[in-house]
Chains A and B, each alone.
Chain A
Amino acid sequence: METLTIKENISDVLKSILGHNNFEMHDELTAKDVDGWDSLSHMMIITKIEEAFNIKFKLRDLNKLKNMGSLVSVIQSKI
C-alpha cells in the first residue's frame, strides 16, 4: 500500500476516535502533538488501526512507535 494511502487511513482513524482533525500528517508527528492522543486513547486508536488495515500488532511493536513515520513503517511491514 502507498505511504500516502496509509497516512490517509490513519488520519481517518484519528478523526473518528478523537473527534477532530487539528493535526498535520507528517513523519515527525508524535502523539504529544495531537490533542487528546494520550496513553488512554492510544489503545483505542491502535485497535481501530488494526481493524482498518486488518493486521495485528505485538506489544513490542507498540514500544517501538516513536512517531508517525515509525507507525507507517510498522504497518507497512505487516500488510
Chain B
Amino acid sequence: MVFNSFNFVGFIIPILIVYWIFFKKSKVSQNILLLVSSLVFYAWADWRFLILLLISILLNYYLGKKISNTTNETIQRHFLYIGLIFNIGLLLYFKYFNFFYEGFVEILNVFGASASYNTLSILLPLGISFFSFQTLGYLIDIYNEETEPSNNLLEFSVFVSYFPKILSGPIERASKMMPQIQEKRNFTYPVFVDGLRQILWGLFAKIVIAENCAAIANPIFNDYGNQSGSVLLLGTFFYAIQLYADFSGYSNMAIGISKLFGIQLMRNFSTPFFSTNISDFWRKWHISLTTWMMDYVFTPLSFSLRSYQKKGLIISIIATFVLVGFWHGANWTFVFYGLLHGIYFIPLVYSGKMNTSEIVAKGKLLPSFVELIKMILLFILIMLTDVFFRTHNVSEAFDYIFLIFSNNIFSIPTEIFSSNYLITTALLFLFIAVEWLHREKSHDFEISHYPFILRWICYIVLYLLILIFGKSAETFIYFQF
C-alpha cells in the first residue's frame, strides 16, 4: 500500500478520526491505535515478515534494558554485541547473503576448486534496512549513555514500527522520537495543515516530477547502446532529478503523514542540489542515513585512526561512503557509487574547505555567478555518478559514461522538441523554483507565511497539475532498499 493510493487514503482517514476524536485524551489508546495500524500496514505490504518485525522489537527492547541495567562495562558490551550481531545479521542474511556467497564461490574457483553454486532465493523483508538501522542506533545510544532505554514495550513498538516511516524512513533516533510517543499528542491545527501541505508537495514531486522524468530516462537507459552522447547525457539528467524527486517526495509524504498524528519526524532532504561542494550536498541528501553513518561509522572510525591525521580522515570518509553505497543493496554498482563519492571528498580535506555548509545565497533572491557555476558543476558530477545507481552492473555504467563522451555529445537531440520533453522541462522549472524559494524553510513547501489567497492559488495549481500531469506509480525507488 503506497502513500499515493486510494487504499492508503481509505486506510488512514478512519484512523485519524478515531485518533483525534475518540482517543484524544489518552496517550495509551493513541499508542495502541498507532501500533495496531502499523502492524496492519506492514502485514498488508508483506505479512510473511510480520513475525520477524515482532521478534526484532522484542529482542531490541529486552537488550536495551539489559545494557542500561548494569554498570559493569563488560556485561554492557556483551549485550550490545548480541544486538549488533542480531541486527546486522538480519541485514546480512536477507540482503547480502547471495552477494557474499557468489563472491566466495568465485574466489574458490580462482584458486582452482571447481565449486558451483545455487544462490538461495531469499525474499527481502520490506523496510529491513530502515528499521534495523533504527534499532541498531537505539542500542548504541543506550550503550553510550546518550539515551535512556524505553521501559514501555508499547511505546517502543510504536517507535520501531510506526507506519509512516517503516518502509522507507526517515531512520529515526530514539532521543528525538521517543519523547513524542511518551506524551499524549494534542491536536494543533497549524501542524495538521502543514502536514497536508507537505503531503501535497511530496505527491507532486513523486507522481508529476519523478514519474515524468522516469518516462524520459527509462527508455534511454534501457537502450543506451543505440543513443548519441547528448541523449545519454539527457538520460542522466532526468534520472538524477527522478531519483531526487522520488525519494524526497516519498520523505515529504512520510513526514507530512506523521504530522497529521502530531509526531514530528526528522527532515530527510534539505534542497541538496543547492550546494556548492560535495560535503554540503551530503549534509542535505538523505540526512537520516548520512547522520546515522556519521555517528555510528565515521566517528568511531576516524577516532581510531586519528593519529594518522588527514590520511586517517580520508580513509574514514571513503570507508563510510562505501558503506553508504553498499547499504542500498548487494551490488558492486552501489559500492562504486559510494567509493566515488568518498573520493570526491579528498580535495576538500586537503583544502580545508570541508566545513563550509550553509544555505546558498542566504536572504537573497538569486545566487551569485560563482555560486551558480559551483552548483551546476556539482550537479553534473552527481548526475554522472548516479549512472552507477541506475545501471544493473558496473561495466554497464562505465559503458554508458564512455558512450556519453565518445558518441556525438554535441549533437542536438531531436527529442527535446517533443511535447513530453517540453512539458517535463516546464514542470521542472516550477519544481526547482519552488524549492529554491523555500530553501531556508523547514520544508520545501512551507508557505504558511503567504497571504491566504496566494496559498490557495498554490494548492489549486498543484492539485490541477497532479490531475493533469500525474502518472500513477506502483512503487518507489527506495522500497527495494
Partner-B contacts on A (CB < 8 A): 19, 35-41, 43-44, 46-47, 59-60, 62-64
Contacts and interface: CB of A to CB of B under 8 A. Distances in A.
B144 interface: yes
B362 to A, nearest CB: 15
Query: Interface of chain A, helix or strand or loop or mixed?
Result: helix
16 contacts: A35-B355, A38-B354, A38-B355, A39-B299, A40-B317, A40-B349, A40-B355, A41-B354, A41-B355, A43-B302, A44-B310, A44-B313, A46-B303, A59-B303, A60-B145, A63-B145
Interface of B: 144-146, 279, 294, 298-300, 302-304, 306-307, 309-310, 312-313, 317, 349, 352, 354-357
A63 B294 CA distance: 13
A36 B299 contact: no
A2 B354 CA distance: 34
B401 to A, nearest CB: 29
A39 B145 contact: no
A50 to B, nearest CB: 8
B3 to A, nearest CB: 32
A47 B303 CA distance: 9
A44 B354 CA distance: 13
A43 B354 contact: no
A62 B299 contact: yes
A35 B354 CA distance: 12
B136 to A, nearest CB: 16
A63 B146 contact: yes
A62 B356 CA distance: 23
A79 to B, nearest CB: 19
A59 B357 contact: no
Contact of B298 (A39, A47, A60): A39
Contact of A43 (B313, B352, B355): B313
Given A36-B355, A38-B357, A43 B303 contact: yes
A47 B313 contact: no
B267 to A, nearest CB: 17
B146 A40 contact: no
Contacts of A43: 299, 302-303, 306, 312-313
Contacts of A47: 306-307, 309
Nearest to B73: A60
A36 to B, nearest CB: 4
A38 B317 CA distance: 14
A40 B144 contact: no
Nearest to B294: A39
Contacts of B309: 44, 47
A23 to B, nearest CB: 14
